[in-house]
Amino acid sequence: MRLGIFLVLATLLLACIAKQRAPEYDEAYSIFLTAGDAHPAWPAGVFTAASVRGFYAPHASLRRISRDLKVFDVHPPLYFWALEGWRRCFGPGWFTARLLSVLFSVAALAVLGAIARAAGVPVIPALALTLLSYGFAYTGTVARGFALAQLFNLVGFYIVLQAQREPRQARALLAGLAFGTASFTNYLAVFTAGAVFFWLCLRAPRRLPPGLALGLLPFLALDFSYFRVQRDARVGQFVAFSPFHALAELARDSGAAVFGGLPVYAAPHGMLVALALALLALACLACALAHQSPYRLLLALAVTATPCGLLALGLVFGNTPIEIRYLAFSLPYLALLLAAALPRWLLWPMLAVQVCGIFGLIFAHATMQPQGLAAAQASALAQPGAVILVPFGNDGVGIPGPFIAALPGAARVELLHAGQVPDFTGVHEIILAKIAVDAASRTATTQALKTFEAPGCFTLGKSTPLAVRVHNHCVTP
């Protein structure tokens, strides 16, 4: 009964987050990929938002999704196949796409409850610590494959725990299939499988169940068939690898995955808040390390597998692939450790702090991407006949996709390319969306502002943090 009530409340909370958060860069890849046009051919010149609504609505075949992934993205196809089926059933809306992740996240929480019972961990505290972790709630509501990969990893983990009580090859095979399916959803999910395999090696190196490898290996082969052609698809996505920088990023994002952006929201007192959170985290970890549990080593390995794996990837490929959404794969296992170990006097403050982080996730713009908010501000500034300039970005997907989706249908739009100055003949008023989330958009926005600020035809008018009104005095009759 308590578990059912918790899952209903979790569904409502995650749905609220999915509805409230602004649309994001990477979600546009999910939408357009499943719509059959991974890089939409936006019209040249001025067009209305309504005229391109059809770009978001079509459907792609599974073969088309697979083919486009190998050219334009860096992920395996399973989530996108599932998203396409979901969109066919329930419609092409952005919020609708996010609800699929909500469904996967609630299912993951249900499996986590079963894991907690099997491991002798208090169920509701484990679920609460997971749900209220910023990284879990965030990845559980965006239209990407993290929630589905998390679900399959937890299913595999649960089967392994069950197999410890009653070893069967069939269970080992099912666990391998679950872990393999997770990796076929997101490559980084394989680190959790690696932690489980390592734990089994430590327990009984001569009695490793072959079914685990038999279930996992076919998926790893499929993963490699995609990865080998995708590895150069997003060159420059991450900064160059530096050990000290990578460790600093790992510490910061690990804290953010649990507590969210509380230091950011508390500016100018962010450093004090960060210090207080660090002390709370150290106290919690000390309790977890002191607690005796038959599965403590397994959980600790599952917690550390993804951070260590990301550092290893950075060292091999010379970049720094450390982000909150990747570290979210560790959070359910951290929650299990903490739920088993924390006394009430520490558990309740921990949950209270996490609640504050979740409120920030829902309402604070500081941790939201700017496209949706920029669209709202630009629309508010625009008078009838105004043209809204939005940067094209690196590839015309992650910036214009969410931005245009958030505009009213009658809004007149033109895409701004780096190094190009649009023809403003006949345009009395221009609204520049000041979006700078990739290299091309930063360049284009800077160049446009320099053009508008230079002496001549243009005068800057009313502005907001993400949009500025520009008057054109040289309008051709």
Residue 419 above 80 pLDDT?
Answer: no
Indicate the pLDDT class of residue 477, thresholds 50, 70 and 90. Answer: low
In angstroms, how far is CA 9 from the centroid of its own chain? 22
From CA 21, how far away is CA 18, in angstroms rounded?
Answer: 6
- Residues 150/79, Cβ–Cβ less than 8 Å: no
Indicate the pLDDT class of residue 129, thresholds 50, 70 and 90. Answer: very high
Among 17-31, 105-119, 198-212, 329-343, where is mean pLDDT lowest?
A: 198-212
Specify the pLDDT at position 194.
94
- What does the pLDDT average to over 112-127? 96
Specify the pLDDT at position 227.
87
Residue 190 above 70 pLDDT?
Answer: yes
Share of the chain above pLDDT 90, in %: 65
Q: Give ∠ CA 203-107-304 in degrees, rounded to 5.
A: 40
Tokens of 58: 């079509």
Burial (Cβ within 10 Å: 0-12, 13-18, ≥19) of residue 325: middle
- What does the pLDDT average to over 182-186? 96
pTM: 0.94
Specify the pLDDT at position 233.
61
pLDDT digits (tens, 9 = 90+) for 347-372: 999 999 999 999 999 999 888 999 99
Burial (Cβ within 10 Å: 0-12, 13-18, ≥19) of residue 249: buried
Specify the pLDDT at position 465.
93
- Closest by alpha carbon to 222, among 77, 320, 9, 352? 77
DSSP of 96-124: HHHHHHHHHHHHHHHHHHHHHHHHT--HH
- Domain extents for the chain? 2-38+73-367, 371-472
Please name the amino acid found at residue 388.
Answer: I
Tokens of 446: 């800077």
Residue 61 above 60 pLDDT?
Answer: yes
- Residues 408/383, Cβ–Cβ less than 8 Å: no
Residue 236 above 60 pLDDT?
Answer: no
Tokens of 142: 């965006």
Specify the pLDDT at position 235.
54
Among 89-93, 111-115, 288-292, 386-390, where is mean pLDDT lowest?
A: 288-292
Indicate the pLDDT class of residue 458, thresholds 50, 70 and 90. Answer: confident
pLDDT digits (tens, 9 = 90+) for 67-116: 998 888 889 999 999 999 999 999 999 999 999 999 999 999 999 999 99
Residue 234 above 80 pLDDT?
Answer: no
pLDDT digits (tens, 9 = 90+) for 239-285: 788 888 989 999 999 999 999 999 988 888 889 999 999 999 999 98
Indicate the pLDDT class of residue 472, thresholds 50, 70 and 90. Answer: confident
Indicate the pLDDT class of residue 237, thresholds 50, 70 and 90. Answer: low
From CA 439, how far away is CA 344, in angstroms rounded?
Answer: 48
CA dihedral 29, 35, 36, 42 (to 10 degrees): -70
Helix ranges (H only) for 342-438 are 344-363, 371-381, 400-405
The average confidence (pLDDT) of the chain is 91
66-100 burial code (b ≥16 CB/10 A, e <16): eebbbebbebbbbbbbbbbebbeeeebebbbbbbb
